[in-house]
């Protein structure tokens, strides 16, 4: 695996640095860009990291520009890393035809169908390649938590549920909780994974919770005015399966809040402090 990072932007922010890096991805076979916020503590010591997975149509920039997370991350001494949401620059047939499949819509899985299976391997990229790259090149201490929004909330839940001992904590804003049973997920899964639904379960948070392989607490915020809530996000399915198998869940419902980054910006401090509690209390 290559360990070459090219810095393409750097901005001082709350005593730390917001940086963007470019590198050649072996998992995706293309050039990728990711963003990282390094708090001021990273100047003198290694710090823990919160992975943020973004939603449909987003890049590495949306969260860093809109969520307002840097001030609290600087106070807490937590780095934040935002990967992109799909491979870039491939121009595969049909890749740019819709907002919810292909470009900007990698769904944090490893595709098995043509023409996607060679490049659309976001699960491997986010769980293996990119962590290895940043741990080797940035002042990180190896402790990880994970969060995300919408498609990225789906990704955060799935990655944590599939690797119960890896992440100190997991949270999500308005996640696609049951993608096997919603239009966004059905479109993505059938295109990337094929028609057989048995292969979909490994990337469905509700299905994974039902296996009882993880007991890690989930922290989820959902806006009640979210226009995707009932058709796409299915929070009631998440609540039901957690209740059925007694899986730990902190679920907060917020009247009047929609699916936008205004919702995320309102409650991101709660999530950062939640993750800090786990990142800094975790035993060595």
Which are the catalytic amino acids? 150, 226, 259
Q: Give CA–CA dist 30/265, Å, rounded.
A: 32
Tell me the two tokens of residue 132.
């290895």
Q: Give CA–CA dist 269/271, Å, rounded.
A: 5
Tell me the two tokens of residue 11.
């901005």
SS3 162: helix
SS3 274: helix
Q: Give CA–CA dist 276/169, Å, rounded.
A: 9
- CA distances in angstroms from 135 to 5, 69, 99, 217, 267, listed in the order given: 12, 21, 32, 25, 28
Long-range CB contact pairs, 42-45, < 8 A, 24+: 42/16, 42/17, 42/77, 42/79, 42/138, 42/139, 45/139, 45/141
Contacts of 237 (CB under 8 A, 6+ apart): 177, 178, 181, 206
């Amino acid at each position: 695996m290559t360990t070459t990072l090219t810095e393409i932007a750097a901005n001082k922010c709350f005593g730390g640095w917001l940086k963007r890096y470019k590198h050649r991805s072996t998992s995706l076979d293309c050039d990728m860009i990711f963003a990282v916020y390094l708090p001021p503590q990273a100047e003198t010591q290694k710090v823990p990291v919160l992975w943020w997975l973004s939603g449909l149509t987003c890049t590495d920039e949306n969260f860093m520009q809109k969520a307002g997370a840097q001030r609290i991350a600087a106070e807490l001494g937590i780095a934040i890393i935002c990967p992109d949401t799909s491979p870039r620059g491939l121009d595969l047939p049909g890749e740019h035809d819709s907002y919810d499949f292909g470009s900007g819509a990698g769904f944090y899985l490893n595709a098995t169908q043509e023409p996607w299976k060679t490049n659309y391997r976001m699960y491997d990229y986010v769980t293996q390649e990119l962590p290895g790259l940043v741990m080797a090149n940035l002042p990180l201490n190896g402790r990880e938590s994970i969060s995300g929004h919408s498609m990225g909330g789906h990704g955060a839940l799935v990655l944590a549920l599939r690797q119960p001992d890896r992440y100190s904590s997991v949270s999500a804003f308005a996640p696609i909780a049951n993608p096997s049973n919603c239009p966004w997920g059905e479109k993505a899964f059938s295109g990337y994974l094929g028609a057989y639904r048995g292969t979909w379960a490994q990337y469905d948070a509700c299905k994974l919770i039902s296996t009882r392989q993880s007991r890690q607490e989930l922290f989820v915020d959902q806006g009640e005015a979210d226009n995707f809530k009932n058709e796409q996000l299915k929070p009631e399915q998440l609540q039901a399966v957690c209740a059925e198998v007694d899986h730990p869940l902190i679920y907060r419902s917020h009247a009047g809040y929609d699916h936008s980054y205004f919702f995320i910006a309102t409650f991101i401090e709660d999530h950062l402090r939640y993750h800090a509690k786990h990142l800094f209390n975790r035993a060595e």
